[in-house]
Amino acid sequence: MLGQMQDWPLRVSRIIDHAARYHAGRAIVSRDGDGVVRRATWAGVRDGALKAAQALTRLGLRRGDRVGVMAWNTARHLELWYGVPGAGGVTHSLNPRLFADQLVYIVNHAEDRFLVYDADLEGVVAAIAPRLETVEAFVRIGETDAPRIDALSYDALRDAEDADFAWVEGDEGEACGVCYTSGTTGDPKGVVYSHRSNVLHAMAMIQPDMLGLSSRDVLMPVVPLFHANGWSTAFSAPMAGAGMAMPGRNLTPPALFEMLEQGVTITAAVPAVWLGLLDHLRREGLRFSTLNRVVIGGSACPRAVIEAFQRDYGVTVLHAWGMTETSPLGSFASLKPEVAALPPEARLDVQCKVGHPPFTVDLDLRDDFGEPVAWNGESRGRLVIRGPGVLKRYLKAERDATDGAGWFDTGDVATMDALGYVRIVDRTKDLIKSGGEWISSIDLENVAVAHPDVAEAAAVAVAHAQWGERPVLVVAPKPGAAPTRAALLAHMGRHFAPWQLPDDVLFVENLPHTATGKLSKLTLRRQLEAQGYRLPSA
């Protein structure tokens, strides 16, 4: 017997309809391309999205066509976030910080027919335009003094429309957006989200133990919408009726602080952003007026950052884990009652883990033979994941990326405890194997950045004749500080056995980062090689 309830396809257009209908006037504060901070509303964003959909349809967009969007977090970007799938298209979010060759590869691979971009990215787009094989029209958001591309004007196209448009309806399983993995190991791979996966993932994310969003919140994604589906923020905020603050391209600590003071209650970014902001707050003696929680993920959040936010600023840290392939959020370190009851230090230990999954996400551990690993908080295994927001197959791949039971191997090594809290030990490829024992690069880095003179630190393996691999630590000191090798090793010696300590400590002004603001171990390894270090083979 079938249920007899209504058929209501889970399409993302319904999210913006809901926000515009029931939370019409909620503010979207946006630092636009010209640097000016303006206020929009959900009703206004929906109106713009309808016009964008109308304009794209007039340009010839057909159902399923990919539209490249290379833009900072602004209200305009939100219009396209809903306008493209609302017109039946598929948003392909492009990270302008990728190498030109990578951008060319992914635009050609996804077969983008249109490319919409922020005017200040004219140079980035112009540099790749001649090699783009499928793009038929370029659309520029905002003005540029030095046009290098024969592009249409987004504002002119949009303002010529009247918003008399009906969202394209269809199956909830249709594609809605594409995001490519960063390609740290080979060519980037396309992850194709469906309307359904985005809606279900957003519903899971607004739950109290995850983002915990309500209409009383104002969410500011510092994480760009082009990084891993924007961590769901542009779907979950309007779904919850929350307001948003969109910080635009200027992510310097003073600019971020100014935007946070626009009533923001919750914000999200990778750890590197918060290291910079905390330093700025301390030096300027600033305090937040409305911020009460901060989501930190994308790479391991140092304990010192969690501690500083909570102890010095009264802001709760939600340490989260996820990946492009998982929509992206898979777990949040919110406090179950057993954890909330712990003394502060023990509670902090749990917050350094990446937490537990929401309904719709299944997490587990496997050993090298595919057998389950015990959830005892000690035993390490490969973290595997499954659920309706988890990748099944990469774009144009010939085989599924999952095993027979639907599990996707994350490439992370983790432990799980009896309460289901996951601790990321390391990425498989970043673990340092010394004399048959594994050393976690994340553990070394976290302890190093807890030293008061250290701004950032990265640990990588170098080849060693006797031990196979040994750790080398590369440290960026805080401005004006000059930590010594001996002081650092003494500090780290309090947390590690002697064999786990780095053989070498090198000091640099800045560490290299990836296009999404994470430490780039790939670049770092190349730099070490250039300095004469031998890298482990494969």
Residue 321's H or E segment, with its range, is strand 316-322
State the first-to-last Cα distance of the chain, in angstroms, to the nearest integer: 55
* Known catalytic membership, residue 410: no
The answer to whether 42 and 20 have CB atoms below 8 angstroms apart is yes
Q: Which of 17, 118, 217, 412 binds ligand ADP (CB under 6 A)?
A: 412
Least distance to ligand ADP from the beta carbon of 422, Å? 9
Whole-angstrom Cα Rg for the chain: 23
Integer Cα distance of 314 and 149 in angstroms? 48
* Known catalytic membership, residue 433: yes
Integer Cα distance of 279 and 442 in angstroms? 21
SS (H, E, C) 446-464: HHHHCCCCEEEEEEEEEEE
Q: Which of 91, 93, 233, 410 binds ligand ADP (CB under 6 A)?
A: 410
* Known catalytic membership, residue 325: yes
Which span (114-122, 130-138, 405-413, 494-502) binds ligand ADP, by CB under 6 A?
Answer: 405-413
Least distance to ligand ADP from the beta carbon of 332, Å? 10
Whole-Å CA distances, 205 to 235, 306, 363: 9, 21, 16
Helix, strand, coil percent values for the chain (each to nearest 5): 35, 25, 40
Least distance to ligand ADP from the beta carbon of 518, Å? 5
The answer to whether 277 and 252 have CB atoms below 8 angstroms apart is no
CA dihedral 367, 392, 320, 250 (to 10 degrees): 140
Residue whose Cβ sits closest to ligand ADP: 182
Q: Phi first, then psi: what are they for 39, rounded to 5°?
A: -110, 130
Least distance to ligand ADP from the beta carbon of 111, Å? 22
Integer Cα distance of 197 and 310 in angstroms? 33
Least distance to ligand ADP from the beta carbon of 214, Å? 24
Which span (14-22, 323-331, 343-351, 463-471) binds ligand ADP, by CB under 6 A?
Answer: 323-331
The answer to whether 56 and 89 have CB atoms below 8 angstroms apart is yes
Residue 238 or 322 with smaller CB distance to ligand ADP: 322
Residue 42 or 332 with smaller CB distance to ligand ADP: 332
Whole-Å CA distances, 374 to 387, 415, 416: 21, 9, 8
Whole-Å CA distances, 499 to 157, 385, 462, 489: 63, 33, 15, 12
Q: How many residues bind ligand ADP (CB under 6 A)?
A: 25
Least distance to ligand ADP from the beta carbon of 515, Å? 8
Which span (9-17, 406-414, 467-475, 480-488) binds ligand ADP, by CB under 6 A?
Answer: 406-414
Task: Point out which residues pair with 460 in neighbouring strands.
Answer: 472
| Site for ligand ADP contains 297 (CB under 6 A) | yes
Task: Give the contact letters, 352-391, x = binds to ligand ADP (CB under 6 A), - = no.
Answer: --x-------------------------------------
Task: Give the contact letters, 510-529, x = binds to ligand ADP (CB under 6 A), - = no.
Answer: ----x-x-x-----------
Task: Give the contact letters, 142-181, x = binds to ligand ADP (CB under 6 A), - = no.
Answer: ---------------------------------------x
Q: Could you tell me how many residues make up the chain? A: 538
Whole-Å CA distances, 368 to 388, 408, 434: 25, 14, 19
* Known catalytic membership, residue 438: yes
Token couple for 527: 């730099």
Task: Give the contact letters, 207-246, x = binds to ligand ADP (CB under 6 A), - = no.
Answer: ---------------------x------------------
Q: Which of 57, 262, 267, 299 binds ligand ADP (CB under 6 A)?
A: 299
**Is the four-CA dihedral 258, 261, 263, 268 of positive or negative sign?**
positive
Residue 19 or 339 with smaller CB distance to ligand ADP: 339
Please pick, among 336, 433, 478, 518, the residue that the annotation labels catalytic.
Answer: 433
Which span (9-17, 199-207, 320-328, 474-482) binds ligand ADP, by CB under 6 A?
Answer: 320-328
Token couple for 488: 């650092």
Residue 195 or 319 with smaller CB distance to ligand ADP: 319
Which span (8-16, 29-37, 273-281, 317-325) binds ligand ADP, by CB under 6 A?
Answer: 317-325
Least distance to ligand ADP from the beta carbon of 410, Å? 5
Catalytic center residues? 181, 325, 433, 438
Which residues of this protein are in contact with ligand ADP, per CB under 6 A?
181-182, 184, 228, 297-301, 319-324, 328, 354, 410-412, 424, 427, 514, 516, 518
